[in-house]
Amino acid sequence: MTRRSPATGGNGSLPVVPPGEKPGVARPDDIRRHNLARVLGEVHGEGALSRAELTRRLLLSRSTIRALVTDLCDLGLVEESVPVGGERAGRPSHVVAPRPDGPYALAVDVEVDRLVIAAVTLGGTLVRRYVRVLGAADRSAPAVARIMAEEVRTVAAELPASCWPIGLGVSVPGTVGKASGFIAAAPNLHWYGEPLGPMLQELLPHLPVALGNDADMGVLAEHLRGAARRATDVVYLTGKVGVGAGILVNGQPLRGAAGLAGEIGHTVLDPAGPACHCGVRGCVESLIGEAALLRLSGRTGQPDPEAVASVLADARAGDPAARAGVRQVGRDLGRVLANLVNLLNPEVIVLGGALADIFEAARADVLTVVDAQAMAAARATVDFRVSPLGADSSLLGAAELAFRNLLTDPLAAPSGRLHAARGVHPSSRVTESARHPDIA
Ligand SMILES: [Zn+2]
């Protein structure tokens, strides 16, 4: 590094000084790692940024940004280009973007009756996305782990050999123990105390595996690239078969003592309400979940996205029973939102899953209840938004889990460093049989 190093230019917090060293003196290597992570994080969040914009955002000198970007290019993580027409525009600022043949995250969204499997590049681009419907016999945790490992290997084998998998992130509709990868409870899957993380790690021994709750993954994705960008106090309320909330407070995820916060689906809204499968009456999930929508619309059959879409289409077409069901769920959704507004004073509440569709279909009913039941001052500052990421919020959030280590320390990406050390375009050297050795 030159003397105009980030040591004097950065405004972010510097790394913690290791024990035994003088406080206040960060080592140049730590500062470089820290600033590489900041640059890569910005590029990942935006998809592409000019060097000039990076200089402005990170308050680093132009020469420091140039050196950091050069390092990230050498690591095979980003590439630079000159904008079209830039040659004639005097001194164009180079655009820094993730390399399309660089690292990618493998992500799986576990739903009750299906898995959604994807590969996501730096910058958040979905390059592969598949749905695998699970038969009734395939829904145990060991079976899901085995199928997931198969699907993940298949997706990885389809990608060019020059790309490398950085990890697997898994979104689960249940409570995931902090750091353990154990599913404490996923009631809709009938999983209790299932070691899904360790099972997956055994099946994919060289691929780092991380698990998270689906609503927690959703709020992560909405905050980074969805409806809650730049907001600091956010709730992502999702309703599929189950109902859950992912919560950011002051920009930080609210996890709770054991990582289980946000289980609003099993808080009681009406003690005289219908019995919930958790054993309690009148839970939020029993009033606004997919099964409730079907029941209140006079439908029979299993709740799934197709059945919900059918009710919503019928409601739009004027079917009285479907319309009544959607409006009743909308009013109960309004009660849940009012409670969230009063409890957390969020800036944005993002609605995902079937709740996004119900909000749009019964907006007036929902907001009438919110206006009547939420504290006026907190109601005045909250914005309700529908997820622009659609059904993929949790999936994209799971990819963020997989990227976390790389984004924390870009120098620690082993495959990237290996490719850079070879000094060649990796695809010219890696043979078919050797590709993706990490997960073969
Ligand atoms: Zn319940």
User: What is the chain's pLDDT, residue by residue, as a tens digit (440 residues)?
Assistant: 333 333 333 333 344 444 444 556 678 788 999 999 999 999 999 999 999 999 999 999 999 999 999 999 999 999 999 876 655 556 678 999 999 889 999 999 999 889 999 999 999 999 999 999 999 889 999 999 999 999 999 999 999 888 999 999 999 998 887 767 889 888 889 999 999 999 999 999 989 999 999 999 999 999 999 999 989 999 999 988 889 999 999 999 998 887 788 889 999 999 999 999 888 999 999 999 999 999 999 998 888 888 999 999 999 999 999 999 999 999 999 999 999 999 999 999 999 999 999 999 999 999 999 999 999 999 999 999 999 998 899 999 999 999 999 999 999 865 544 443 333 233 322 222 233 333 43
Do residue 251 and residue 357 come from a single domain? yes
DSSP state of 33: H
Do residue 73 and residue 147 come from a single domain? no
Residue 149 lies in a domain: yes
Q: Is residue 222 within 8 Å of residue 231, measured between CB atoms?
A: no
DSSP state of 304: -
Residue 224 lies in a domain: no
Do residue 90 and residue 114 come from a single domain? no
Q: How far is the CA of 235 from the centre of ligand 1 (A)?
A: 20
Give the CATH number of the domain where residue 350 resides: 3.30.420.40
Do residue 80 and residue 93 come from a single domain? yes
Do residue 241 and residue 212 come from a single domain? no
Do residue 141 and residue 177 come from a single domain? yes
Q: How far is the CA of 328 from the centre of ligand 1 (A)?
A: 19
Do residue 131 and residue 146 come from a single domain? yes
Pick the last residue of a domain from 63, 81, 98.
98
Do residue 262 and residue 356 come from a single domain? yes
Please tell me whether residue 256 adopts helix, strand or coil conformation: coil
Q: How far is the CA of 266 from the centre of ligand 1 (A)?
A: 4
How far apart are alpha carbons 176 and 193 in whole angstroms? 9
CB atoms near residue 383 (< 10 Å): 12
Residue 430 lies in a domain: no
Pick the last residue of a domain from 98, 131, 160.
98
Do residue 299 and residue 237 come from a single domain? yes
Residue 427 lies in a domain: no
Q: How far is the CA of 287 from the centre of ligand 1 (A)?
A: 10
In the chain, how many domains are there? 3
Domain region containing 144:
103-216+394-421
